[in-house]
Chains A and B, each alone.
Chain A
Amino acid sequence: EDKVVQSPLSLVVHEGDTVTLNCSYEVTNFRSLLWYKQEKKAPTFLFMLTSSGIEKKSGRLSSILDKKELSSILNITATQTGDSAIYLCAVLKTSYDKVIFGPGTSLSVIP
């Protein structure tokens, strides 16, 4: 059965800290891995990773995929209170539109 696992499930850090969120997957017919940020409402798209070892960056956020280890990490440097959210990892399969989401990591950044 396809599965996406995230760790930790929740995390509390102080502003300025660097955090690493983990995502691992057991999915047949893997195509891509996606990261989303969910604040109060709808998830918003962060990254899509398809190739192993290539880091994607956006400001203080970066992510990399390791297809050999079936995992990905999302790094956030110099965290701010606005980074507080649930971070969702999802895997897109080649078998047409099948996306499997992990349970999410709830990140709280306190001043």
Chain B
Amino acid sequence: NAGVTQTPKFQVLKTGQSMTLQCAQDMNHNSMYWYRQDPGMGLRLIYYSASEGTTDKGEVPNGYNVSRLNKREFSLRLESAAPSQTSVYFCASSERQGLDGYTFGSGTRLTVV
């Protein structure tokens, strides 16, 4: 099925460890996004990429880096994980900068101990 694929679905890290969350979309969308979702706080934008080759900070970028590897793939890296980064992470894509809504991946549940 066409859509947004995220890996892994679950991950447990120790404080200080690093990891990369992978995201790929096969809808030929230009824009891709990384969000985190925490109880009572809704979805908060970490980074986004309006088009291949560009990335910009969102609302909560500290502690994260991103790479727009090509039009399909947008990865999120935690260089030194902290317990405050325990969250559910969603990747999303859109064709026209959100004008037609967003398609979300199924999420990655990350726990940092």
Contact = CB atoms under 8 A, between A and B. Distances in A.
Interface of A: 4, 9, 31-32, 34, 41-45, 48, 88, 90, 92, 96-104
What are the nearest 7 A-B pairs in CB distance? A42-B104, A45-B101, A101-B42, A101-B43, A41-B106, A103-B42, A92-B98
Interface in B31-79: 31, 33, 35, 40-45, 48, 50, 56, 59
Contact of B42 (A32, A34, A44, A104): A104
A98 B59 CA distance: 9
Interface residues of B, number: 26
- Grouping DSSP codes into helix (H, G, I), strand (E, B) and loop, the A interface class, with mixed when no group exceeds half, is strand
A11 B106 CA distance: 25
11 contacts: A32-B98, A41-B107, A43-B104, A45-B103, A48-B100, A88-B43, A90-B43, A92-B99, A97-B50, A99-B102, A103-B41
A97 B97 contact: yes
Among B4, B99, B100, find the residue whose CB has the most chain A CB atoms closer than 10 A: B99
Contact of B48 (A34, A48, A97, A102): A97
A103 B40 contact: yes
B48 to A, nearest CB: 5
B49 to A, nearest CB: 9
A32 B106 contact: no
Given A42-B106, A96-B50, A34 B41 contact: no
B72 to A, nearest CB: 18
B101 A48 contact: yes
A34 B104 contact: no
Contacts of A34: 98, 101-102
